[in-house]
Amino acid sequence: MNNIFDILIIGGGHAGSEAAWISSQFDLRVGLISGPGASLASTPCNPAVGGVGKGQVVREIDSLGGLMGIVADKAGIQYRTLNESKGFAVQSTRVQVDKELYTKYAEELLSSRENLSIVREMVKAVKRDREKFIVTTESGNIYSSAKVIITTGTFLAGKLHTGEEQNAGGRVECQESVGLNDLLSEIKTLPNRFKTGTPPRIDRKSINYSVMEPQESDFGTRNFHSLSEPFNRNSKQVPCYLTRTNSETLSIIRANKERSPIFNGQIKGVGPRYCPSIEDKAFRYTEKDVHHVFVEPEGLNLETIYPNGISTSLPKDVQESFIQTISGLENAKILVHGYAVEYDVVDTSELSRLMEYKDIPGLFFAGQVCGTSGYEEAAGQGIIAGINASLTLLGREPLILNRNDSYIGVMIEDLVSNKRDEPYRLFTARSENRLYVREDNTILRMNKYRKCLGFLTRLDYFQESILDEVEILEKLVDSTMYYSTVANKEYFSAKEYGTLDNNISLKELLRRPNINPVIVLEAEAGKMGARFHSDAVRTVAIASKYEGYIDRAVIESEKINRMSKKRIDWEVLADSKNISFECKLRIKQIRPETFGQLQRIDGIRPATLAYVAGNLV
């Protein structure tokens, strides 16, 4: 095998797989190094892809040409549209995946790339050698590459905890890698390590499902990959189940406080507040004993069940006794015990928005090593790191996503402009532009970024055709009028569209409360003999419904524009310690003279604007 690469990715999880996949679309020599025992794109925790905010990320990755949506569709065994009753603008897709199939399909796709070599070795050291990086492995091989992307997840100096037991490891049954500073001494890590955890896995045959609430797969949820048939399922669909903890469960946990590594000081790392272990729940919310436990199959042919909601690092005997207090799990047999893992995290404020380490050009980071949690967050960073490693290698303009039109943009900006003090997960609350950054209009939002890659594949033609249809439909909803005639009034009442006292446009009809704009637009466009792709219809219908609110939000947030004529001193701003490094760089490049110019600089954070605005008052 050739030992010289253009781009070498260290780590084969979701970030590494996306980085390798997209880099291999460019005409480059790409290598992916992954530990010998670890499967590629594995789902070691919750066997699900998507979720609120995260579903948007999966579709954004898909629009850029990524892997995750394709694989999730193939391996999906239960689909759900979250927030279905809460309004179109906040709906998201989540798919339970068969973890065996997920890895299998991901490995198949990656192996199909001829210019991508997959290397199964442990990396020992990464060294800079002028314009190249030299990567040495434990088996003694030496590789060189112009660009290196580090996507090592929780493996850097990883340490597992189950009660008093402590073992080195990246995850269960996987060898840890060396610490980040041993790998590459110049890298700044966060002073605090991060911690995450996973629940015990239960033997499916030992569970009594009859006392639990089943949650069936939703056949109306659209597949992630835009080229997949929207509603076809590749794998068999199975239900998940819901059960709950009770006071007995919690009292067992509370009685074992001093045996909990999180509470007895054994674990020093910072865990995420949004994904607490059952111990956290027991001790932080002492008045609450009932917590949801989602019983999720890990695969169609796997014996293990993932009980979502009871992640724990308590000793094995405590895990066994508290699990068996839960309704339906009285005879539960634990096949793999829950554990927590602590790991090194890189200081992301040292990264640029390309995901490149600013002091070491050519070195990129992505995924959980950057302090995020979640497969989708990792994949989103991975694809951006892969794209930018490739584009910069080819001497082309790098790709930077804007926080106003993508969750990936929100995430990367949040990461690089702050030192994180806990694992980072995307919430829709992190976006200032939630009503616009939706799943249904992903192609509309992302096509301009996809175009920057310069590919011309089926995906590109598909996106073009959707955009054409969207444009036609937008004109249609504006120009189609319903005159207040007797016939139309009857038609409206027959269709339950409401009254028709004045002439209204189709767009106004779509905005009416109590109607489903997607169904109505589909019907009304169909009535005119026009047939549109369901994705285009959905985009325009939902955009019409929320247009007023999106505009109003934009107007309100742009009231700050009144300040835009005020003069600012960019030199002083560029020195201020209250402004993030990235913003200061941009300020030095652009040298804005007024607040308005500062605002228009791509990538200036809202916090910076607010800070400057506060000073101008």
Partner 1 sequence: MNFYTDDKSIIACSTGNQSNTAIAIIRLSGFKSLLDLQKFFSFNLQKTENRKSHLTNIIFKDKVYDNALFVYFPDGQSYTGENVLELSVHGNQLNIQRILDLFIKEGALRSAHPGEFTYRALKNKKLSLSQVEGLDMLLNANSSLMLSQGLDILQGDLHAQYLALYDSFLKLKAAVEISIDFSEDVGAEETQIFFNKSFEKFFKLISALKTRTEGNVSALLSPEIVLVGQTNAGKSSLFNILLKHDRSIVSNIAGTTRDYISEVIHLEGINFKLVDTAGIRESNDVIENIGIDRAMGILSRAFYKILIVNPFETNAEYLKKFSDIDFDFLIFSHSDKKDFLEQLSLVNFSKIKTKYLSKASFDTSVCGSIEPLNMSGPMGPDTIAMHPNFALGGPIEPVNKSGPIEPLKNDSIQSGPIEPVLKYHILKKFEVLTANNPILLERHRNVVNKIYSESVSFKNNINGLTDVAILSSEVNILGYSLTELIGIVSPDDVLNSIFSNFCIGK
Looking at 457, 578, 589, 593, which residue binds partner 1 (CB under 8 A)? 578
216 touching partner 1, by CB under 8 A: no
The answer to the question of residue 264 lying near partner 1 (CB under 8 A) is no
Q: Of residues 276, 362, 386, 592, which one binds partner 1 by CB under 8 A?
A: 276
Please, which residue, 475 or 567, has the CB nearer to partner 1? 567
CB nearer to partner 1: pick between 287 and 501: 287
With contacts defined by CB under 8 A, name the span among 27-35, 106-114, 423-431, 478-486 that binds partner 1.
423-431
**Integer Cα distance of 383 and 65 in angstroms:** 9
d(CA 305, CA 203): 6
Give min distance, CB of 556 to partner 1, in A.
Answer: 5
Question: How big is the site for partner 1, counted in residues (CB under 8 A)?
Answer: 55
Measured CA to CA, the distance from residue 32 to residue 12 in angstroms comes to 7
549 makes contact with partner 1 (CB under 8 A): yes
Q: How far is the CB of 578 from partner 1 (least distance, A)?
A: 6
In what side-by-side order are the strands of the sheet with 76-82?
Answer: 48-50, 92-97, 76-82
Q: Tell which one of 219, 231, 285, 581 touches partner 1 (CB under 8 A).
A: 285
- Backbone angle region of 492, left / alpha / beta, with phi > 0 → left and psi within -120 to 50 → alpha: alpha
Which DSSP state fits 149? Answer: E
Length of the chain: 617
Long-range contacts of 561-564 (CB under 8 A, 24+ apart): 561/596, 561/599, 563/595, 563/596, 563/613, 563/616, 564/594, 564/595, 564/596, 564/599
Minimal CA–CA distance to 178: which of 143, 119, 126, 140? Answer: 126
Find, among 250, 262, 233, the residue nearest to 309 by Cα.
250
What sign results for the dihedral spanned by CA atoms 42, 375, 224, 417? negative
Select from 322-330, 332-340, 533-541, 544-552 the region that touches partner 1 (CB under 8 A).
Answer: 544-552
Q: Which of residues 502-521 bind partner 1 (CB under 8 A)?
A: 513
Residue 415 beta carbon to partner 1: minimum distance, rounded to whole angstroms: 14
Q: What is the DSSP letter of 250?
A: H
Q: Binder to partner 1 among 216, 569, 593, 602 (CB under 8 A)?
A: 569
342: part of which helix (H) or strand (E)? strand 339-343
- Site for partner 1 (CB under 8 A): which residue of 21, 26, 79, 88? 88
For the bound state, the minimum distance from the C-beta of residue 276 to partner 1, rounded and expressed in Å, comes to 4
Of positions 284, 448, 495, 588, contacts partner 1 by CB under 8 A: 284
Tokens for 297, please give them.
């199959």
> Is residue 472 a contact residue for partner 1 (CB under 8 A)?
no
If one asks whether residue 607 binds partner 1 (CB under 8 A), the answer comes out as: yes
82 in contact with partner 1 (CB under 8 A): yes
Cα–Cα dist 441/419, whole Å: 32
Contact between 430 and partner 1 by CB under 8 A: the answer reads yes
| 573 contributes a contact to partner 1 by CB under 8 A | yes
- Residue 451 binding partner 1, by CB under 8 A: no
The smaller minimum CB distance to partner 1, of residues 328 and 362, is found at 328
Give the nearer residue to partner 1 in terms of CB position, either 292 or 495.
292
* Cβ at position 109, least distance to partner 1 in Å: 30
576 binds partner 1 (CB under 8 A): yes
Task: Give CA–CA dist 294/339, Å, rounded.
Answer: 18
> Contacting partner 1 (CB under 8 A), which of 27, 129, 496, 556?
556
Dihedral of alpha carbons 117, 75, 427, 368, sign:
negative
Would you call 113 exposed, middle or buried from its count of C-beta atoms within 10 A (0-12, 13-18, 19+)? middle
Cβ-Cβ contacts under 8 Å for 425 (sequence gap 6 or more): 272, 274, 275, 372, 373, 374, 377
One residue of 208, 213, 264, 274 binding partner 1 per CB under 8 A: 274
The residue from 263, 427, 462, 492 that contacts partner 1 (CB under 8 A) is: 427
Told to check if 281 binds partner 1 by CB under 8 A, we report yes
Site for partner 1 in 287-316 (CB under 8 A): 288, 291-292, 294, 308-309, 311
The minimum distance between CB 80 and partner 1, in angstroms, equals 10
562 touching partner 1, by CB under 8 A: no
Least separation in angstroms between CB 343 and partner 1: 19
Q: How far apart are CA 524 and CA 123, in angstroms?
A: 60
For residue 510, what are the contacts with CB-CB under 8 A and spacing of at least 6? Answer: 477, 517, 520, 521, 541, 544, 545
Give Cα 348 distance to the centre of its chain.
17
Give the Cα separation of 161 and 615 in Å (integer): 48
Question: Which residues fall within 8 angstroms of residue 600, CB to CB, at 6 or more apart?
Answer: none
Nearer to partner 1, 491 or 549 (CB): 549
- Which one, 151 or 312, has the nearer CB to partner 1? 312
Among 531, 567, 588, 600, interactor with partner 1 by CB under 8 A: 567
Residues 6+ apart with CB under 8 A from 541: 510, 517, 518, 520, 521, 522
The correct pick among 270, 509, 568, 587 for binding partner 1 (CB under 8 A) is: 568
Q: For the window 339-368, what string marks contact with partner 1 as x by the rule CB under 8 A? A: ------------------------------
Maximum pairwise Cα distance, the chain: 84
DSSP conformation letters of 280-327: HHHHHSTT----EEEEEES-SS-SEEEEET----S-HHHHHHHHTTST
Q: Which residue, 284 or 527, is less far from partner 1 as judged by CB?
A: 284
* Contact footprint for partner 1 (CB under 8 A): 52-53, 82-83, 85-90, 272-276, 280-281, 284-285, 288, 291-292, 294, 308-309, 311, 427-430, 434-435, 513, 546, 549, 552-553, 556-557, 559, 567-569, 572-573, 575-578, 607, 610, 614-617
